[in-house]
Amino acid sequence: MKARRLSEVRQLLASPEFMGWWEALAKVKQARDDARERHDELLSQAMLMDFRAELAQKNAIDTLYRAGELEDSAAKTLAENQELDNASFKVVADFEEQRIRASEVWYRACAAERHLDAMRDQLEVRRQKLATVAAPAAKKELEAENARLEGEVRRSERAYVQLSQENDRELAVKNRLWEEAEKIWARSMELALLMAERRSQGKKVRAEAERLFKQAEDRKQRANKLRGEADAVAREKETAETRMAEAMKEACDKFGCAQGDEFAYFRQKENPRRAWCVAFTEDSQNYNIEVKALTAYSIDQKRGVEFLEPAVELRTTDEEGDRRFEEYFLKGRKGRAAEEPSEHKSS
């Protein structure tokens, strides 16, 4: 690291050689920063695509389970429907037997009703005839006959009442069986419709699951592609960083400075414990003063860039130059200052 005056540093910064190096460095730095930004963006996209692929995979699995549940429900509905069909056969058979039994009772009840009506008509005729008979013997015979007919009418009425009640009971049983059969058929139709709908839903949901599985696979491939692109950009970034390191080393060799990441350093010729630093970046937040690119600042050895001062040209007077000359050449030679004048006197 060479010692330079501030004027020499500024002259170096303004030289075509340094400006050419600086422009080349700026291009390399811009390429590195662009590569870093693209690398970070590609990695972020790859991570996001991985997450979206996992989410699609999870949704696909859940959707597949839901399709299986619908298909299982359709199968259970089919089994229940088959049980109802089997039950309906028995109910219909019982209904048919009851219908025949009820019909027979109804026929008998109708016959009893007709017989009762006939007996009542006959009794009424005989009663009217009795009113016209005057002979005691004939009248007595008619009264005996009427009494017999009245007994038959009462027996016929009891038989008719019994048959009517039996007919009502058998008819109620027949109607109940028919209602039960209709309920079974209605439930069977409901189950058949639900089964068809769930089968249809199962197919639709399974197709959705397949679509989600394909989507997950596409996103995984997209994530792998993004990682491949990120790896290529990472190599570009490494190349740019290598070129930057080479450019920094070139600056150290060519311009005699110590090269940091954001500053170049030159020793101050006027003060060996201080240095000039040249900023390569713009920064108004992180230093004690605003930093501008290609601007020289004064720093001390202990604190470095932690405390920057504006660079000011240090001028020495003739007296200060003579004093520094004497301090270096006379005091620093440990007593020879007194001897050398005597030697000159003797000569």
Res. 330: pLDDT tops 70: no
Which of 224, 258, 280 is a domain's end point? 224
Per-residue pLDDT tens over the stretch 185-200: 888 888 888 888 888 9
**Residue 38 counted as domain residue:** no
The pLDDT, as a whole number, for residue 318 is 45
Same domain assignment for residues 196 and 252:
no
The pLDDT, as a whole number, for residue 323 is 53
Same domain assignment for residues 75 and 218:
yes
Which of 163, 190, 224 is a domain's end point? 224
Per-residue pLDDT tens over the stretch 100-115: 988 998 998 898 888 8
Task: List CB contacts of 186: < 8 A, sequence separation 6 or more.
Answer: none
Which of 224, 252, 270 is a domain's end point? 224
Same domain assignment for residues 203 and 290:
no
Written as one letter, the residue type at 36 is R
DSSP annotation string for 79-112: HHHHHHHHHHHHHHHHHHHHHHHHHHHHHHHHHH
Same domain assignment for residues 220 and 84:
yes
Per-residue pLDDT band at 327 (split at 50, 70, 90): low
**Residue 233 counted as domain residue:** no
Backbone φ/ψ region at 294: left (φ over 0), alpha (ψ -120 to 50), beta: left
Packing angle of the helix pair 16-132, 136-255 (nearest 10 deg): 180
**What would the two tokens of residue 154 be?**
């009462």
Comparing 282 with 321, the larger pLDDT belongs to: 282
**Residue 37 counted as domain residue:** no
Res. 321: pLDDT tops 60: no
Same domain assignment for residues 253 and 301:
yes
- Looking from the CA of 8 toward its CB, the CA atoms found within 13 Å total 16
Helix (H, G, I), strand (E, B) or coil at 305: helix
Residues 26, 280: Cα–Cα separation, whole Å: 9
Per-residue pLDDT band at 58 (split at 50, 70, 90): very high
Residues 73, 67: Cα–Cα separation, whole Å: 10
Provide mean pLDDT across the span 66-88.
Answer: 88
Number of domains in the chain: 2
**Measured CA distances, 47 to 33, 34, 90, 132 (Å):** 21, 20, 65, 122
**Residue 220 counted as domain residue:** yes
**Residue 44 counted as domain residue:** no
Question: What domain range includes position 178?
Answer: 50-224
Same domain assignment for residues 184 and 135:
yes
Same domain assignment for residues 188 and 250:
no
Same domain assignment for residues 217 and 264:
no
**Residue 293 counted as domain residue:** yes
Per-residue pLDDT tens over the stretch 210-261: 999 999 999 999 999 999 999 999 998 898 888 888 888 888 888 888 878 8
**Residue 45 counted as domain residue:** no
Same domain assignment for residues 126 and 94:
yes
The pLDDT, as a whole number, for residue 121 is 83
Same domain assignment for residues 157 and 276:
no
Same domain assignment for residues 26 and 56:
no
Same domain assignment for residues 105 and 162:
yes
Residue 316 backbone phi and psi in degrees, to 5: -110, 140
The pLDDT, as a whole number, for residue 225 is 93
**Residue 59 counted as domain residue:** yes
Task: List CB contacts of 83: < 8 A, sequence separation 6 or more.
Answer: none
Q: What is the mean pLDDT of the chain?
A: 83
Per-residue pLDDT tens over the stretch 131-179: 776 677 777 777 777 788 788 888 888 888 888 888 899 899 989 989 9
Q: Check which CATH number belongs to the domain holding 127 and give it.
A: 1.10.287
